[in-house]
Amino acid sequence: MPTNTPTNTPTSTLTGREWQLAARPHGWPTPADFALVEAPVPEPGPGQILVRNLFLSVDPYMRGRMNDAKSYAPPYELGKPMQGAAVGRVVASEAEGVPVGAHVVHGLGWREYAVVDAAQAAVVDPEQAPLSAYLGVLGMTGLTAYVGLLRIAELAPGETVFVSGAAGAVGNQAGQIAKLKGAARVIGSAGSDEKCALLVDEYGFDAAFNYKNGPVAEQLAAAAPDGIDVYFDNVGGEHLEAAISSLRVHGRAALCGAISVYNDTEPAPGPRNLGLLVGRRITLRGFLVGDHQDLRDDFVREVGGWLREGRLRYRETVYTGIDQAVAAFLGMLRGETTGKTVVALPE
Amino acid sequence: MPTNTPTNTPTSTLTGREWQLAARPHGWPTPADFALVEAPVPEPGPGQILVRNLFLSVDPYMRGRMNDAKSYAPPYELGKPMQGAAVGRVVASEAEGVPVGAHVVHGLGWREYAVVDAAQAAVVDPEQAPLSAYLGVLGMTGLTAYVGLLRIAELAPGETVFVSGAAGAVGNQAGQIAKLKGAARVIGSAGSDEKCALLVDEYGFDAAFNYKNGPVAEQLAAAAPDGIDVYFDNVGGEHLEAAISSLRVHGRAALCGAISVYNDTEPAPGPRNLGLLVGRRITLRGFLVGDHQDLRDDFVREVGGWLREGRLRYRETVYTGIDQAVAAFLGMLRGETTGKTVVALPE
């Protein structure tokens, strides 16, 4: 068509690379557990769009999907493309309202091209924020921080908050939201002195400690001598036990994940101090962001405003090239990255 | 006064027996940790009443007060009378509205006579229920069951409920309230086959198992193959870990106490499966009945109605004589008693 309107990309011979799970990891995954495969890209059917992915998300929960265990997300199938959040550009469309040239967030990452049901994709505006932000600070990780802190832990102004894994995508945002919502004191833990400095200097945490420098319980008690009211748990294990001991009467813990034990092959020792829950009337509550999509509009409005005002900061660790996706995932799991970890796919 | 109105008992030379904590138990208490002492009874001052206690309550939480540890209830002081719920008859009164002859529930048990601020006592009606019931089924233990099940665990009709320590005063009532409130299935655990039979035959539980007969997790899974929605925890330890594994998505556990570990001298191993809380969106919540006195009127009306209709049953284990109070307490802790354990003090 001799117009300037973007048109469908011919797709009949299109191929794209995708990551498949080659073997189920036992303990820590290794590159040999994954295979990068070139595969034909199907044409979009009615109501579908073809998306050229521009950024892929790697997230801790994906480790669970590599196991063949019943969980909230179905396991990845061996020899099939994996899945995950991605943002991309529509290059062919058979769906009304989602034209070629639009940008969308969807759930078929770990691949260069994806055919997506338009109903499962959300159009996003690259003028409002960089595209990668829709995977992080304005995406699922950001909403996770928002939901966990405000709805699950029910943060009230004036309270003291502890966030573990605080240099991660969810953690740093949880800490910043806590401050923006009036927390009196926000403490973070991270796995290096550099990350701790970042938490205080860039993200405005009141205190931070490197959990590798000593027992978590001792470092937390030193940072919060009067105890904490809210614990945002990204880590589990020793952190959770220490936080329970520090929680005050009517304290709440939002359990977001437990990255410290995802690769354990034996059950980790559990917190020995759950008896404290009774006398202190403590609540521990696990949550998944998927249950709380009703908060998304509030979240985008509020966090978007903070971003525009420069009151909320974020960092990304960007790996480039689809061949780097497994490296990105493993680097994130090992704590080598800071902020949200994404994989950029140059066209 | 030549009338039939009961009058103040002369108190100037009155003495009464009271239990004092003689030593702080290490592990399981022994009779040597307690002393029964004869002491002068003071005269009631303005606004006070003198009560002849008729029934004393012994409760698991009292074990915690024997330790010198900061907790929700202050520790018992060595060489001072202990405290606990009691019901008695007013024998002298300097308080308006609480006449001699009235019956009251108050918090100064472990003794024959108590001088009580009238504001800290609640008048009860022996015509409505036996006096001892105000310590159990219509008292703190009953309210604990009601609060834990309905407010803390937010039981909904059609759900499956598991109650540990179910032959105890709180547990059997929690199970019965669950059935009366429309639970689809109620399972209890207890420490003997006889108690299990009682749970099913007398209290209407759908199933019960003796936790001494095998691993709790296996027995619970057999009794609730599709999992549970609500866990009412009186026990902690192995029971709590098993219940977490059985809790379904959006399951809730109300943590009332952990009698299995009260006498431990080392921290018991904690549940190794708290990671399940995230994917299943499980909530664990500790509570104390004292925070929920606003439910008392609802509780008395509803449970009183069920009692009158014969829809809620209760048992008591009654020890007689103040010299039996420690034996009653230890028997209750060891699980030798059934239902609410009280000590009757014949006049």
User: pLDDT at residue B188 above 80?
Assistant: yes
Q: What pLDDT is recorded for position A142? A: 96
The torsion of the CA quartet B184, B189, B190, B195, rounded to 10 degrees, works out to 30
Cβ atoms of residues B213 and B196 within 8 Å = no
What ipTM goes with this model?
Answer: 0.87
Confidence class for position B3, pLDDT limits 50, 70, 90: very low
Residue B114 DSSP code: E
Interatomic CA distance for residues B101 and B91, integer angstroms: 6
Q: Residue A8 to residues A12, A50, A91: CA-CA distances in angstroms? A: 11, 9, 6
For B9-27, the pLDDT digits (tens) are 665 689 999 999 999 999 9
Please report the sign of the dihedral spanned by the C-alpha atoms of residue B284, residue B288, residue B294, residue B296: positive
End-to-end distance of chain A based on CA atoms, in angstroms? 23
Q: What is the C-alpha to C-alpha distance for residues A20 and A76, in angstroms, rounded to an integer?
A: 9
Q: How many Cβ atoms are within 10 Å of B29's Cβ, its own excluded?
A: 21
CB contact under 8 A, A272 and B269: yes
Contact A123, A100 (CB under 8 A): no
CA distances to B11, B183, B184, B193, B268 from B204, rounded to whole Å, are 48, 12, 12, 16, 33
Residues 252-311 of chain B with CB under 8 A from chain A are 255-258, 261, 267-288, 291
Residue of B nearest to A73 (CA): B279
Distance from CA of A161 to the nearest CA of B (A): 19
Question: Which positions ≥6 away from B113 have C-beta within 8 Å?
Answer: B14, B16, B41, B50, B51, B52, B53, B91
> Is pLDDT above 70 for B231?
yes
To the nearest whole angstrom, how far is the Cα of A266 from the nearest Cα of chain B? 10
Three-state DSSP at B211 gives helix
Contact B288 A276 (CB under 8 A): no
> Residue B275 and residue A236: Cβ atoms within 8 Å?
yes
pLDDT at B144 (0 to 100): 96
- pLDDT number for residue B4: 56
pLDDT (0 to 100) of residue A211: 97
Contact A274 B271 (CB under 8 A): yes
> What does the DSSP 8-state code read for residue B3?
S
pLDDT of res. B5: 63
For chain A, list residues with pLDDT below 70.
Answer: 1-5, 9-12
With CB atoms and an 8 Å threshold, state whether A258 touches B272: no
Q: Cβ distance B289 to B140 under 8 Å? A: yes
Task: Say what the pLDDT of residue B2 is.
Answer: 46
Please tell me which of the candidates B72, B273, B284 has its beta carbon nearest to residue A284.
Answer: B284
Instruction: Write out pLDDT tens, residues B31-76.
Output: 999 999 999 999 999 999 999 999 999 998 999 899 988 777 889 9
* Region for A76 from its dihedrals, namely left if φ exceeds 0, alpha if ψ lies in -120 to 50, beta otherwise: beta
**Mean pLDDT of all residues in chain B?**
93
pLDDT at B338: 86
pLDDT at residue number A10: 64
- CB distance B271–A268 less than 8 Å? no
DSSP codes, A82-105: --B-EEEEEEEE-STT--TT-EEE
Residue A59 to residue B37: CA distance in whole angstroms: 66
pLDDT(B1) > 80: no
Residue B244 belongs to what H/E stretch? helix B237-246
The pLDDT value given to residue A1: 43
Q: Dump pLDDT digits (tens) for B250-308.
A: 999 999 987 777 777 777 778 989 989 999 999 999 999 999 999 999 999 999 999 98
Q: Return the CA Rg of chain A.
A: 21
Q: Which residue is associated with the tokens 């303005």?
A: B46
Axis crossing angle, helix A237-246 with helix A216-223, rounded to the nearest 10 = 40
Domains of chain B: 15-130+315-344 (3.90.180.10), 140-290 (3.40.50.720)
The stretch B87-100 carries a mean pLDDT of 97
Q: Apex CA A60: angle with CA A57 and CA A65, to 5°?
A: 95
Average pLDDT (B74-85) is 94
Q: Please name the member of B71, B271, B279 whose beta carbon is closest to the beta carbon of A71.
A: B279
Predicted confidence (pLDDT) at residue B186 exceeds the cutoff of 60 = yes
> What percent of chain B lies above the pLDDT cut of 70?
97
Q: Which residues of A touch B241 (CB under 8 A)?
A: 270
Averaged pLDDT, B72-87: 93
According to the model, what pLDDT value does residue B332 have? 93
Q: Count residue pairs from A and B with Cβ separation < 8 A.
A: 105
Contact B330, B63 (CB under 8 A): no
User: SS3 breakdown of chain B: % helix, strand, coil, rounded to 5?
Assistant: 30, 25, 40
In 3D, which of B64, B103, B102 has the Cα closest to residue B83? B64
- Helices and strands in chain B, H and E counts: 9, 15
Residue from A263, A265, A274, A280 to probe the interface with B (highest B Cβ count within 10 Å): A274
CA-to-CA distance for A62 and B200, rounded, in angstroms? 45
Q: Please identify which residue in the block is written with the tokens 């940790």.
A: B33
